[in-house]
Amino acid sequence: MNEIPAGGCPLGRGGTCDDPTCTGLYNCLGGEWALELKCPMHDGGTGAGGAGGAQGSGGDAGSSDSDACTPVHIDVSGMTMGCTPGLENPPDCPVAAALGCEESACLTGCTDFFLCKSTSTGPEWVDVAYCTCEGQLIVTQ
């Protein structure tokens, strides 16, 4: 699945044009992000500067959700350091980005979460979770 375009907000996860960082609202159709609604320009016109803060403000959007937090349970036994090559962060992120609340894990911009695991041949990346285009975290191990 492709990343949501820069400035885009996921319609299915509560994205709205009231958010000044959203330039458009997107739906995931067949594994691809499709523009559903282009947002009007907000007064102040600093959309590019605000877009950088969009990921950090993702937690604020969830906080109005009556403090809903379903803990994420991923088996991290065997975790180590030294996996190469490095992850393309995001959409590929370390498992730590998924730990915490299930409701916010897919708001990070990450689509796949990897664990650097010690194996008989040395450290290697293991895919342990992913986000669906509807924003649901799926733990694979």
Residue-wise pLDDT tens digits, 16-51: 777 778 888 777 766 677 787 788 775 544 333 333
> Residue 70 pLDDT more than 50?
yes
User: Does 132 lie in the same domain as 88?
Assistant: yes
Pairing of strands 122-131, 24-29: unpaired
d(CA 30, CA 34): 9
pTM exceeds 0.75, yes or no: no
Domain containing residue 125 = 65-141
pLDDT for the residue 31: 67
Question: Cα dist. 29→10, 15, 32, 132 in Å?
Answer: 12, 16, 5, 11
User: Does 26 lie in the same domain as 85?
Assistant: no
Question: Residues 114-129: what's their mean pLDDT?
Answer: 91
Residue 120 lies in a domain: yes
d(CA 106, CA 89): 13
User: Does 32 lie in the same domain as 89?
Assistant: no
Q: Which has the closest alpha carbon to 112: 86, 90, 135?
A: 90
> How many domains in the chain?
2
